[in-house]
Amino acid sequence: MNYVFKGRLCGLLCSDDCREPLAGVKVRLYRADARESLAVLAVADTNQTFHQVSEEDIKAKSKLLLAETIANENGEFVFNLGEKENYKGEAFDIDFTCGTGFGKPIPPKKITEFQFHLTTLQPQWRERNADNQAEYLFAWEYCIVSKWWCQILQKLDRWVICGKVVDCKTGKPLNGLRVFAYDVDLLQDDPLGSGFTDASGHFKIVYTSADFSKTLLSWLNVEWPAGPDLYFRIESGSGTVLLKEPRSMGHTSARTNAHNCFCVKLCVPDGEVYTTDTPLFTRFGEYKIIGDIDAGGLTAINRTFASGIGFGFFGSVKLVGYATKKVPTDTTRPLFYRFTYSYDGATWNPVTLAQTQQSRLVVGVREIIWNGVQAFQDIVIDPNQPASVADSIPPDGAPGVIPDHVLHQDANGWVRVDQRGIDNGFIGPLLWVNTNVLVPGGSPATPGDAPGNAPLSPKNGRRVFFAYQTTDDPANPASVHFKEQTTKGVIYVNNWEEVRLLQLDELSTGVSGCTPITTHAHVRYTADHELIASWALGIASAAVPGGITITGGSGTVPRGSNNVIDFATPGTVTPAFNTWPSCAYKLSLVTRRKLTNGEYNDDHTGTEIIFCK
């Protein structure tokens, strides 16, 4: 008679939705001996019978071994028992062995095995016919409670963070995001690892005590009595930071000295962008197209990374959003996307290679095998590398560097979404547009412009509108799956440099810079830009340690300022010009434009004149 015993084993980390399969453990069945308490044990709660088996007991019961097998990646196992095992349906003991290499990203070179007893089981066999032969079947599933499973993991030096990421507003789980965990340490913060969220928003990060015990001084281990102090960062697959917790979170009571089984729930602001199956264009850099930018295309809020209200845009700007793998109206068809631009909101042209920043842009990530283990490959748009075969997976080429999976725009600006990305598409930057091509700038100088006077021809920028389109067939404009997002984005672009002119009259008449200027110092300056954040005229010398102040020598009002001043005029500078010691002096004019690329603001630039007094 054949008896088929099917089972599945798992371990609870801290809650019912944070569990993991006992993948790869060895499951052993032992004949139950003639114990008087056998009937009691066969019906006992497994929580009461669970215990570690000593080496002496393992040796003592070795002659009672009925069969053993290895659980698969899902913790599932199957035993076929019959005449060969001299089995006739009686009760048996169930044990499993688990080693120090269990579930670790990098198993130790020397693995220690431990054996644990689960229970004594009397299967309730159910008869069935298989291949015209009678056999008996019994299925059994058991999940070790966290009380015991976490103690086992502690013996294995296996630390696990089990978490869930949701939208802060809706509570909906977020898929395909990468979560990084860190330990706040005295000398340096330790990265503990990262994991990707699945369709239910869950992620898992596995590490060992060595990962949070690192210090700069080998003889000092500041973490030896306790666990790590945790904080987290969340990114999209393309690397856009969606949540960045401060280090101080690691010092809160809920995060300090974290247990080796630690469960956490994190939420992402504005996560609704990533919970929909509809492709969306959402941001210019880090500025949302709705709410963060006014109708004129200027920033309407402050951002910590690029602070300032009323800023225009310049340089290369990332168009950010979500591109699903498939068109929503036919999930068998890969999605293509592109952006179009317009100066008036009526006439539109595609953003093609000629209008993009022709550099490497990471738009996604894919899972591959490299060096025989799990690894991640960047998906990039990069015209400087040959395009990869669509959806192809590279062969294991270790120990070389993992190559990019390269996408190109077609002649009309369309990009095909890679079907092997770990997200449900691309989340984050979708294209990198070079606004210098759309709204050229450069030097604003006009013949006849002179320091001290307003520019003869002040330069201005202009608004640019952007639309987001998707389709399944770029060659067929009439495809029923072609869609254009109703909401358009608009930015005000100004790539002109500042007018920044500076002159010291006493040096402009052929006088050498080494000839001392003693009685007058006539300074002519012009600072102009349509969106000027600040301008400042300065004078400095090692001979005046406390510094020199110029009255009215700075401002923040567009379009800037122009003037002619004489440092020798009383009240113009402090201390007075006639008290300056004989020495070298540096006269400077520094300006900064009120511009951002969506991630960083424009920096200060300046010009200077060196003279002697």
**Confidence band, pLDDT 50/70/90 cuts, at residue 276:** low
By CB atoms closer than 10 A (0-12, 13-18, 19+), residue 242 is: buried
Task: Report whether pLDDT(298) > 70.
Answer: yes
Give the largest CA-CA distance in the chain: 118
Q: Which residue has the higher pLDDT, 309 or 1?
A: 309
Q: Omega into 592 within 30° of 0, i.e. cis?
A: no
Q: Which residue has the higher pLDDT, 215 or 1?
A: 1
Q: Tens digits of per-residue pLDDT, 227-260?
A: 899 999 998 876 778 888 888 888 888 898 899 9
Residue 523 backbone dihedrals phi, psi, to 5 degrees: -110, 130
Q: Tens digits of per-residue pLDDT, 433-470?
A: 999 999 999 999 899 999 999 999 999 999 999 999 99
pLDDT for position 217 = 42
Task: Report whether pLDDT(303) > 80.
Answer: no
Could you give the C-alpha distances from 286 to 175, 282, 475, 594, in angstroms and in order? Answer: 21, 9, 32, 16
Q: Coil, strand or helix: which one is 271?
A: helix
**Confidence band, pLDDT 50/70/90 cuts, at residue 76:** very high
Task: Report whether pLDDT(214) > 60.
Answer: no
Pick from 190, 117, 218, 102: nearest CA to 154: 102
Please give the Cα distance from 377 to 396 (Å, whole number). Answer: 12
Average pLDDT of 9-24? 88
**The model's pTM:** 0.67
Task: Report whether pLDDT(188) > 50.
Answer: yes
Q: Which residue has the higher pLDDT, 102 or 33?
A: 102
Strands (DSSP E) along 472-531, which ranges? Answer: 483-484, 489-493, 499-504, 522-529
Q: Tens digits of per-residue pLDDT, 378-402?
A: 999 999 999 999 999 999 988 889 9
Q: Coil, strand or helix: which one is 410?
A: coil
CA 494 to chain centre: 30
Pick from 377, 379, 366: nearest CA to 406: 379
pLDDT for position 460 = 97
Average pLDDT of 216-220? 42
pLDDT for position 132 = 65
Q: Tens digits of per-residue pLDDT, 163-175?
A: 999 988 888 888 8
Q: Tens digits of per-residue pLDDT, 26-67?
A: 999 999 865 544 544 544 556 667 899 999 999 999 999 999
Please give the Cα distance from 532 to 560 (Å, whole number). Answer: 6
Q: Tens digits of per-residue pLDDT, 141-186?
A: 999 999 899 999 999 999 999 999 998 888 888 888 899 999 987 6
What is the 8-class DSSP label of residue 584? E
Please give the Cα distance from 49 to 42 (Å, whole number). Answer: 10
pLDDT for position 131 = 64
Please give the Cα distance from 136 to 120 (Å, whole number). Answer: 19
What is the 8-class DSSP label of residue 575? S
Pick from 22, 136, 21: nearest CA to 80: 136
Task: Report whether pLDDT(1) > 90.
Answer: no
Q: Tens digits of per-residue pLDDT, 109-130?
A: 889 999 999 999 999 999 877 6
Please give the Cα distance from 287 to 307 (Å, whole number). Answer: 11
Q: Average model confidence (pLDDT) for the chain? A: 89
